[in-house]
Structure 1
Amino acid sequence: MAVRQISESVYVGMCLELGTPQQVASKREIVDIKEMLENHAVLNQPFTMMLSGSQREGFRLSGSDRDNMVWPNNHRVIWDFSQCQFYNIQEHALILCDSSESPPGFTLLWLPLEIAHRSVMSACVRMNGGLYISSSKLIENLCSLTTTMGYDMTAHGPCISGLIDGVLENDEAHCFASDFWPPSASTWIDRCHSWPPPHVVNDIIRNGCHFVAIGHKLGNHTDNEWRVSFSRAEYKLAYSMNHTQFLTYGLLKLFLKEIINNGLRDEDKLLCSYHIKTAVFWAIQQNTLLQWCPQNFLVGFWVCFKLLLKWVYEGVCPNFFIPENNIFLSSIYGEAQRTLFWRLYRLYEKGLALLLHSPSIRSYIINVLCNPRLTICTDEHTMISEVELDIDILNEIYARDSTETQNLQLNKNYLHVVEQLIGLPLTQNHIVMLQKLTATIFQHSAFILHSMYINTGVNKQLYIVDKVACHLLKLTAKFGFVSEMLYIAIHYHKTFRYREALSVLDLTKVKLAQPYLMYNHHVDQELYTEAVGGQSLSTKMRQAVAQDVGLDNEIFYINELMQEQQSSNQNNRPVINIPSLVLLYMLEFLCSRHADTIRAQRALDDLQVLVHHDQGELIHVPLRDISWEILGICQHISGNLHAALYSYLQSLSQNPYNKIQNATLQRIQDLSL
C-alpha cells in the first residue's frame, strides 16, 4: 500500500511540476496552431521552422534549451532516383542519400545535378567524383554568417547555438527534409503492434524525416556525413503517450538532471535526455508494464531505469527507429562506461529511496512516509484551479505571440491563412492563440501603414490611411489583451491628437485598475473567478487579462523611445517589452505636459512611485531596465536633470533584458552637454 500511495503522491507532484494533462495539451496546441499559421503554403516562405525537443513535447523545465529545426522548402532529399518523379526539378533541388560508406543512421548527401541554392553550394565538397554537401562546412558557414550579422552563435553538435535574452539557450538545427520514410527504419513499422496506434504510425511515415548536420564520430566521413533525424516522429510519439507515461519521461529527465548528473562537469555527463527518451519509447512499446497509471507510476520509472542500467552495462543503446544504430557507440565505452555503470548501480541498490535525493520530488515522498493514512486524489481537476490553468495558458499564448509581420503583403497572407484555419475543427486553445496572433497582425499593420504614408503630403490619402489604422487598432484592442488599448493611445499621440489619447488612457487606466485583473502571474483568484469564472478563455483574455506591451524594433512608435529601440535593434533584440502601467504613465505625461501641467506632474509622480517601489508585481523584474529608462526620460523632459541621471544610472545597473544600454549611455552624455 505504501508504494502505491508514494506512486500516487509523486504522480501528483509531477503534475504540479510539469503540468496536468490539460496544461500539457494546451502548450502543445498553442505551439501547433502557431506553426500551422507560419508554415502555411499560402505564405510561400523560403524556410520551414519547427520547434522540437522538450518544449515541443510539452515540457517547460527550468533551464531547458529551446530547440528549433529549420529547412529550405526548395530542397528535398530522396532515397533513390525513382522518387524524382514526384518533384519538378525547376522548383526543387534534389539531394540523393548515399549511405554505402556510412554507419547505420548516417548518410552522405549527394547533389547529382550539382544544382542547389548558393548557400548550399558553398558548403559542398568533391568526393568520389561527385559533389556532396558537407555537414561541417555548412555549420562553419552558418556561424560565420551569424557573426557578420551581429549574432553571437557557436557550433553545438548539429546546431548553431546562442542565448535568447541573455538567458535561454537557443539551439537551431539547419537541416534538410525528406518526404519519404527511411528504408533503414522500415522494421520500426513492423514493431508497432500495440504502440503507437496505427493512425500515429501512418502520420509519422507520411511526414518522412530530416537530416541534421553531424557525422558519426567513428565513421569514414565524419566531417561530411549527416545524421537521420526523427525529431518530428519523436514529438508525435510523446503526444501519443498517456499522461502517466509522459510524466514518467519527465521524472526520468529530472532524475538525470538532479541525481545522475548532479555535480558532474559537462564533459563527464555521458547520459543525456535523448538516452532517457529512447528508454521510455522502448519500455512502452515492449509492454514491459501492462498498465501505465498513477498507482504504478514509480513501477514505470523503475522499469525504465533498469533498462537504462542494462544498456550501460552492455554498452548498447539501440536507436528507437534504427536499432542497428548504437547511440552509445562513440560516447559510452571503456573506462567511462564502467564508471557510469557503477554510479548507476549504486543508485539502483538504494531502491526507490534514491528519489529522496531529488529536490523536486523529495517532499512528495516524505509527505506519505510521515502520514501513511494520507488519501491522495489523482483527478487533474482537483490539482489546480481554473485560475491557475488560465495563468498557465495565457502566459504561454503571450510567450508565443510573435510573427514576421513587418510586411503588409505578408500580413494580408497571414490573415488569409487565419481565415482558412478558422474553418478547421479547432480547440479553445487553438482559437485563442489565433485570436491573439490576429490582434498582433492588425497592430503591426496599422503602424506600418501610418509610417508608409506619413511623408506623402497627400491629405486625402493620409485621412484614409489614418481611418484604416484606427480601425485596425480598435480591432487589436477588441481581440487582444486589455493592455492592447495602449496601442490606440500610442497612435493618437503619434498623430498629435493628445485629447483623444488621454481619453483612451483614462479608459485603459480604469480597466487596468480592476481588482480582478490578471497581470502576468499576479491575480486575486477569488475576484477573478467571481468576475469571469466559467467564461471562455477568449472572453477572459479580452476582459480580464493584461500583459507587458511589446514595441517591434522595426517600427518606431514613440519618438521619445526611438533611441532605445535603435539600441535594442542593434543588439539583435526584435522587441522592447514595457510594463503596461509604465507605458500608460509615460503616454499620459507626454500627452498632457503642454495643455495640463498639473496632470502631467501627477502622471510623472505616479510613474516615479511605481518604478521606485514596485516589488515585481506590476513591473516584471527583467523589465526594470526600460522602466527606469522611461522614468529618466520623463524626468529629463520635465527639467529634473538630477533625478533623470539617477534613473538612467539605475537603468544601467539592471539586467540588460531589452539591450538599451547604448541609448542610456547616450542620454547620460546628453545630460552633461
Structure 2
Amino acid sequence: MSKSDKIKSLEFYAYLCQKVGSEEIVKSRRLIYTIGDIAMDNNYPRISSGSKGEGLNFKGSDTDVMFIEPDFRVYQSMSDVIDRWGVALLMDTDETPPCFTYLHILPKYGVPFLFTEQLREQKNGKMLLSSELFKIHRLRHLVLTKPMLNNIHGPCISDDLEENDIAYCIKCEKWISQAQPWINRPRTEWPPPDLISQIISLGVLFVPIGCKGSVNEMFEWRISFSVAEKMLIFSFCHTQLLCYALLKILLKEIIEKLPGLKGLLCSYFLKTLMFWISEELDPSVWRPDNIIPCFMACLQKLLYCVEYSTLLHYFVPNNNLFYSRFDISNKRKLVGLLRNLYQQGIQCFSSSVTLHDYPISSCNMRRQLSLKTILAQETIHLFSFGRAKGNIDRLMKNILHHSKSCLSRSIFNLFFADAHHFVSKRTSIHCSPTNKQYYYNYKHYLSQLLIGVNSDAISGWLLLATFFYSHKHYPEALMITDHVISKYTDKTIPVPVETSYNIVVFHELHNNVMELMKHEKTINIVKTLTNLDINLDSKSLAVLPELQQDVQDPFMVYSCKPMTYFIRFLSYYYLENVDSCKDAYMRLLQEYLNTVSYLKNRQSHSVRMAKMFQLFDTILFTGISAQMIGELESAKYFFRLIAIHDVYNCTSAASRLSNLI
C-alpha cells in the first residue's frame, strides 16, 4: 500500500470520526445507554441495542430496547428445570426451521398467570406460548403509557416511523446446543477466548416472531443472540466500527433509495457480514491508515454473498439468511448496483446524505459540536425513552461502586434524581396535623421531591407544586408555578426540549445554548434543556385530588404546560381569588386553542402525535375547571371531545360526562 493511499485513508478516517463519531464519543454514548439500562425498572431488565445502543448516531440511527420478561424462563430439557416459580417453558426445535423454536408451557413448574392463559394455544396435544398473541397482549398494555408505540414491526412494538422499537423477550440462562459449535470452531484471533467465555455465560434470548411463511409461524419464537452480538460490536476497534457504520449508511442512504430494493437487505445482515469478516481477517489489518481497503473488502464480501445468495447465520451456520431472499429480478438489480458502487470506491458515498461532502469537508473540517453538547443530546434522548421508576437503592449502589468517571457519575445522578419522581407513599399522611407521624412523613416526602427537581428544568418543580397544593399550601404552589411559567416566557431561554411520548425535538437554538454552556457540566446542560413528562399513579407522593379518577393505571403521563395552568387554576379557586381563577381558566382555554392551531400547521406526524396527547391533557383539565366554576355546557363539550377519541378508556372523561348528563 503506497504512502499516498495511507494518507488518503487517514484523511477519510478523520472525516468519519467527525461525521459518525470519534472513539471517545462512541465510548461515551455506550456508557450513557449502559447506565440507562442499569437505571431502568428492575422488574423488566433492559438491554439497549440498535445503532444508538452500539454507540453510533447518524441519520436513520434507531433506538431498539429489549425488555426481559421476569416471570418466564426457557429451558432446553426437563433436566434443566430447577425453578419453582413463574412460567417454565421448554424448547422444542424438532419441527422448526434453524434459529426458531416452539416454547411448551410446563404448568406444574409454576401456575401460569391469568394473562398467560390468554396467550397459549393447543398444538398436537401440547400447550404452546403463542408468539403472535404475546406481542398483541404487550401492544395493548404498552399503548396506555407509550401511545406513540402503536405498531407491530417484526418482533418489536414500534412507532410509525420505525425509529424506536421495543421487544419483550424471554431468557434461557444457558448457551443452547444449536450454537455449541460456535465456541470452538477455527478462527484467527477474533473473538478472543475470554470474550467467548463471557458470551456463553450469559445465555440467549427468545423474541416473539416466527419464521416468515411457516405454517406454524404464530407458534414459533426466534432465538436471539442480541446480547452476544452487542458484546462483539463493543469489542470492535474503531476502524472496524466505522466500516460497519459505512455499510449501514450505504444501505439506508443509497441502496434503499432505489426502487425495488428497499427491504431486501437489513442492518442485521450487515452486522452478520462484519462478524464473519472480522473472524476471518487478522485483527492487525483494521488500522486507520487502512480503512479504505478494509471497507472495500467488506463491500466485496457483501457483493459475493448476494451474488451467491449465501449469508450464514454467525452463531447457527446451518441457517442461511439469504435462502430464498431474492428473486431473479431484484437480485440482478442489487448485484448490478453493488458492482457499480464497488467500482466507484469511496466516491460511492457522494449521493448519501451523511457523507456527500467528502472530500471537500475533509480538507476544511467544519466546526464540530463539543463532546459535552453531543453527550447532552444523547442523554436527553435516552431520558425520553425510559425513566428510572423508583430504583433508588439500586442506583445509589451503582453510583457508589460503578461510577469511575465524571460522566458516569453525572448520568447516574440524573437518573437518581429522576427516580425520586416515582417514590410512592408508604402510609397515608392524611391524619391530624398534631400527629408527629404526619410531620415526619411530610418532611420525608418533601425531601424526596426536592431531590427530584434536579432531574430536569420543569417536571420536578411541578411535582413539588402539586405536593404543596394537595396539602393546601396554595401560595407555595403558585410561587413554584410562577418559576415554571418563566421557563416558557423568557425569550432568552429556549423552551426545554419536549421528551413526551418518545419524541425529542432539537432546534438550532437548543444547540446554540448547549454550545454556550459547553464549559458547564453535562448534568447541568441536560437539566437546563430537558422537560420530562409528569408520571403519576394513585400512590404517588404528589397527586392532584381532582385527578384521582385518572391515575388508577400505573404511572399515567401528563404534559407539563397544561398541568401548570391547571395547578394555578385550582390554587386560585381555593384561595377564592375569583379574577385570578378566571384568568387561569382563560389561559387553559388559550392553550387548547394554541395546540389545535399548532396541529393544523404541523406536518411531522410524530410531533403531531405528541401534541395530540398534550391536547388531551389540556382538554381534560379545561373540562374539570369549567365544571368547578359552573360552566357545565363547556364541561360537557370538553369531556365529550375526549371520550370520542379515548378508545382505551384511559381518562375519566366518559364517566365525568355521564355524571353531567
TM-score, normalised relative to structure 2: 0.75
Alpha-carbon separation, structure 2, partners of 1:110 and 1:658: 34
Paired residue secondary structure (1:419):
helix
Task: Please say if 1:256 is aligned against 2:251.
Answer: yes
Matching residue's letter, 1:300: C
Q: Counterpart in 1 of 2:571?
A: 591
Task: Please say if 1:465 is aligned against 2:438.
Answer: no
Task: Please say if 1:501 is aligned against 2:489.
Answer: no
Q: Judging changes above 3 Å, is the alpha-carbon distance between structure 1 residues 132 and 60 closer, same or farther for their aligned structure 2 residues?
A: farther
Of 337, 346, 361 in structure 1, the residue corresponding to residue 331 of structure 2 is 337
Task: Please say if 1:362 is aligned against 2:356.
Answer: yes
Matching residue's letter, 1:205: I
Q: Counterpart in 2 of 1:392?
A: 377
Task: Please say if 1:475 is aligned against 2:435.
Answer: no
Matching residue's letter, 1:255: L
Question: Per-residue deviation at 1:326?
Answer: 1.2
Q: Judging changes above 3 Å, is the alpha-carbon distance between structure 1 residues 262 and 538 closer, same or farther for their aligned structure 2 residues?
A: closer
**Larger displacement relative to structure 2 (166-175 or 353-362):** 166-175
Alpha-carbon separation, structure 2, partners of 1:662 and 1:575: 11
**Larger displacement relative to structure 2 (201-210 or 311-320):** 201-210
Q: Judging changes above 3 Å, is the alpha-carbon distance between structure 1 residues 575 and 659 closer, same or farther for their aligned structure 2 residues?
A: farther
Matching residue's letter, 2:347: A
Task: Please say if 1:299 is aligned against 2:293.
Answer: yes
Q: Judging changes above 3 Å, is the alpha-carbon distance between structure 1 residues 660 and 263 closer, same or farther for their aligned structure 2 residues?
A: farther
Question: Per-residue deviation at 1:168?
Answer: 5.0
Question: Per-residue deviation at 1:658?
Answer: 14
Q: Counterpart in 2 of 1:547?
A: 531
Question: Per-residue deviation at 1:467?
Answer: 2.8
Alpha-carbon separation, structure 2, partners of 1:180 and 1:363: 46
Question: Are the equivalent residues in 1 in contact too, given 2:103–2:221 (CA < 8 A)?
Answer: yes
Q: Counterpart in 2 of 1:347?
A: 341
Alpha-carbon separation, structure 1, partners of 2:384 and 2:412: 14
Alpha-carbon separation, structure 2, partners of 1:52 and 1:336: 30
Matching residue's letter, 1:174: C
Question: Per-residue deviation at 1:307?
Answer: 0.6
Deviations 1:123-171 (A, max 9, x none): 35455xx84636xx332354267559977966644x253538x975534
Question: Per-residue deviation at 1:28?
Answer: 2.6
Of 30, 33, 36 in structure 2, the residue corresponding to residue 31 of structure 1 is 33
Alpha-carbon separation, structure 1, partners of 2:415 and 2:559: 17
Taking the TM superposition and a 5 Å limit, the aligned residue runs for 1:575-586 are: 575-579=557-561, 583-584=563-564
Question: Per-residue deviation at 1:244?
Answer: 3.1
Matching residue's letter, 2:157: S
Matching residue's letter, 2:531: Q
Question: Per-residue deviation at 1:215?
Answer: 4.7
Q: Counterpart in 2 of 1:408?
A: none
Question: Are the equivalent residues in 1 in contact too, given 2:465–2:478 (CA < 8 A)?
Answer: yes
Q: Counterpart in 1 of 2:401?
A: 424
Q: Judging changes above 3 Å, is the alpha-carbon distance between structure 1 residues 323 and 473 closer, same or farther for their aligned structure 2 residues?
A: same
Alpha-carbon separation, structure 1, partners of 2:535 and 2:459: 13
Question: Per-residue deviation at 1:356?
Answer: 1.8
Q: Counterpart in 1 of 2:413?
A: 435
Alpha-carbon separation, structure 2, partners of 1:613 and 1:150: 26
Q: Judging changes above 3 Å, is the alpha-carbon distance between structure 1 residues 247 and 666 closer, same or farther for their aligned structure 2 residues?
A: farther
Q: Judging changes above 3 Å, is the alpha-carbon distance between structure 1 residues 173 and 307 closer, same or farther for their aligned structure 2 residues?
A: farther
Give the gaps of 5 or more residues in structure 1: 369-373, 406-410
Q: Judging changes above 3 Å, is the alpha-carbon distance between structure 1 residues 612 and 234 closer, same or farther for their aligned structure 2 residues?
A: same
Q: Judging changes above 3 Å, is the alpha-carbon distance between structure 1 residues 244 and 597 closer, same or farther for their aligned structure 2 residues?
A: farther
Paired residue secondary structure (1:261):
helix
Alpha-carbon separation, structure 1, partners of 2:324 and 2:611: 46
Q: Counterpart in 2 of 1:371?
A: none
Deviations 1:508-535 (A, max 9, x none): 56788595788324667787777x6545
Q: Judging changes above 3 Å, is the alpha-carbon distance between structure 1 residues 659 and 367 closer, same or farther for their aligned structure 2 residues?
A: farther
Of 281, 285, 309 in structure 2, the residue corresponding to residue 287 of structure 1 is 281
Alpha-carbon separation, structure 2, partners of 1:657 and 1:167: 24
Alpha-carbon separation, structure 1, partners of 2:163 and 2:545: 31
Of 308, 324, 335 in structure 2, the residue corresponding to residue 314 of structure 1 is 308
Matching residue's letter, 2:197: N
Q: Judging changes above 3 Å, is the alpha-carbon distance between structure 1 residues 116 and 8 closer, same or farther for their aligned structure 2 residues?
A: farther
Question: Are the equivalent residues in 1 in contact too, given 2:169–2:205 (CA < 8 A)?
Answer: no
Matching residue's letter, 2:310: V
Paired residue secondary structure (1:174):
strand
Q: Counterpart in 2 of 1:246?
A: 241
Taking the TM superposition and a 5 Å limit, the aligned residue runs for 1:553-572 are: 557-558=543-544
Alpha-carbon separation, structure 2, partners of 1:658 and 1:553: 20
Deviations 1:368-404 (A, max 9, x none): 6xxxxx2559xxxx7322552353144134324424x
Paired residue secondary structure (2:357):
helix
Task: Please say if 1:163 is aligned against 2:159.
Answer: yes
Paired residue secondary structure (1:384):
coil
Paired residue secondary structure (1:54):
helix
Q: Judging changes above 3 Å, is the alpha-carbon distance between structure 1 residues 475 and 330 closer, same or farther for their aligned structure 2 residues?
A: same
Of 48, 52, 55 in structure 2, the residue corresponding to residue 51 of structure 1 is 48
Q: Judging changes above 3 Å, is the alpha-carbon distance between structure 1 residues 300 and 79 closer, same or farther for their aligned structure 2 residues?
A: same
Alpha-carbon separation, structure 2, partners of 1:325 and 1:524: 47
Deviations 1:255-296 (A, max 9, x none): 112221224468x62211111111122222222784434544
Question: Are the equivalent residues in 1 in contact too, given 2:210–2:222 (CA < 8 A)?
Answer: yes
Q: Judging changes above 3 Å, is the alpha-carbon distance between structure 1 residues 288 and 351 closer, same or farther for their aligned structure 2 residues?
A: farther
Q: Counterpart in 2 of 1:234?
A: 229
Matching residue's letter, 1:466: Y
Alpha-carbon separation, structure 1, partners of 2:459 and 2:141: 37
Alpha-carbon separation, structure 1, partners of 2:166 and 2:58: 16
Question: Are the equivalent residues in 1 in contact too, given 2:102–2:219 (CA < 8 A)?
Answer: yes
Alpha-carbon separation, structure 2, partners of 1:344 and 1:356: 15
Q: Judging changes above 3 Å, is the alpha-carbon distance between structure 1 residues 477 and 68 closer, same or farther for their aligned structure 2 residues?
A: closer
Q: Judging changes above 3 Å, is the alpha-carbon distance between structure 1 residues 293 and 150 closer, same or farther for their aligned structure 2 residues?
A: closer
Question: Are the equivalent residues in 1 in contact too, given 2:418–2:452 (CA < 8 A)?
Answer: yes
Q: Judging changes above 3 Å, is the alpha-carbon distance between structure 1 residues 485 and 9 closer, same or farther for their aligned structure 2 residues?
A: farther
Paired residue secondary structure (1:443):
coil
Question: Are the equivalent residues in 1 in contact too, given 2:86–2:111 (CA < 8 A)?
Answer: no
Q: Counterpart in 2 of 1:184?
A: 179
Q: Counterpart in 2 of 1:276?
A: 270
Question: Are the equivalent residues in 1 in contact too, given 2:46–2:65 (CA < 8 A)?
Answer: yes
Q: Judging changes above 3 Å, is the alpha-carbon distance between structure 1 residues 184 and 63 closer, same or farther for their aligned structure 2 residues?
A: closer
Q: Judging changes above 3 Å, is the alpha-carbon distance between structure 1 residues 428 and 627 closer, same or farther for their aligned structure 2 residues?
A: farther
Question: Per-residue deviation at 1:302?
Answer: 1.9
Of 491, 496, 499 in structure 2, the residue corresponding to residue 519 of structure 1 is 496
Q: Counterpart in 2 of 1:139?
A: 132
Alpha-carbon separation, structure 1, partners of 2:462 and 2:610: 17
Of 464, 470, 476 in structure 2, the residue corresponding to residue 488 of structure 1 is 464
Q: Judging changes above 3 Å, is the alpha-carbon distance between structure 1 residues 294 and 578 closer, same or farther for their aligned structure 2 residues?
A: farther
Q: Judging changes above 3 Å, is the alpha-carbon distance between structure 1 residues 260 and 181 closer, same or farther for their aligned structure 2 residues?
A: same
Question: Are the equivalent residues in 2 in contact too, given 1:71–1:177 (CA < 8 A)?
Answer: no
Question: Are the equivalent residues in 2 in contact too, given 1:484–1:549 (CA < 8 A)?
Answer: no
Paired residue secondary structure (2:323):
coil
Q: Judging changes above 3 Å, is the alpha-carbon distance between structure 1 residues 15 and 664 closer, same or farther for their aligned structure 2 residues?
A: farther
Alpha-carbon separation, structure 2, partners of 1:527 and 1:69: 33
Alpha-carbon separation, structure 2, partners of 1:239 and 1:231: 12
Alpha-carbon separation, structure 1, partners of 2:589 and 2:141: 40
Alpha-carbon separation, structure 2, partners of 1:609 and 1:107: 56
Question: Per-residue deviation at 1:444?
Answer: 2.7
